[in-house]
Amino acid sequence: MKQILCICGSASENSSNLELLRRIEAAFSDTYGFVVYDELRNLPLFTPIRLKEGGAPSVQTLKQSVAAAHAVVISTPEYLHNIPAVLKNALEWMTESGELAYKPVLPITFTPAPPRGEYAMRSLLQSLTALKANVAAELPLYRSEMMDGNGLIALNEHHTELLRQALALL
């Protein structure tokens, strides 16, 4: 079974991006083994000096998780027309060590409604390109299209099929 690491790009403990990743895990757990990583807020700030020192245990855990996965799914909101600082920080920790090099990655922007997420996707793609990741597809998703009557994220047939096809590319 292909192991997929799902990284929540939000610093919020009640992130809708984390909820989305949990819904994906539940919907496709019969096909893939998922590990959901929601600890970006606990990583120390990247600096070249800290990189030379090897980084904190939390950095090593992230790097090991990425290295062990067959593929990575990153779901991120958009903050100020960009990816959140915690996600950029995490990616910077892998600059020299190369855990994402040639690894299949599915970037997802999960924002309130279109056109939100477009700038974050561009920013994320630039970082993934610099890290030599193998971007399988780009997937913009919107809460306005995925909320059920109780205010929870629901995967309808359309979204399930989109995700099935995107995950198959990994």
What would the two tokens of residue 81 be? 């027309």
Name residue, tokens 């099929």: 161
* Confidence at residue 149, expressed as pLDDT on a 0 to 100 scale: 85
As a whole number of angstroms, the distance between CA 51 and CA 139 comes to 31
Q: Collapse the DSSP code of 2 into the 3-class scheme (helix H, G, I; strand E, B; otherwise coil) and give the result.
A: strand
Tokens of 150: 């109780």
- Are 117 and 125 in contact, with CB atoms under 8 Å apart? no
Q: Tens-of-pLDDT digits for all 170 residues of the chain? A: 999 999 999 999 889 999 999 999 999 999 999 999 999 999 999 999 998 888 899 999 999 999 999 999 999 999 999 999 999 999 999 999 999 999 999 999 999 999 999 999 999 999 999 999 999 999 999 999 999 888 899 999 999 999 999 999 99
Residue from 164, 98, 99 nearest 136 by CA: 164
pLDDT of the residue at 122: 98
Q: What pLDDT does 96 receive?
A: 92
> Can you say whether the dihedral through the CA atoms of 90, 95, 100, 106 is positive or negative?
positive
Tokens for 132, please give them. 């030599």
| Residue of 86, 168, 151, 78 lying closest to 116 (CA atoms) | 78
Q: Give the pLDDT of residue 2.
A: 95
**Predicted pLDDT of residue 50:** 92
The pLDDT assigned to 35 comes to 97
Token pair 């950029």: residue: 88
Residue with tokens 């892998």: 94
Q: Which structure tokens are listed for 92?
A: 């910077």
Query: What confidence score (pLDDT) does residue 12 get?
Result: 93
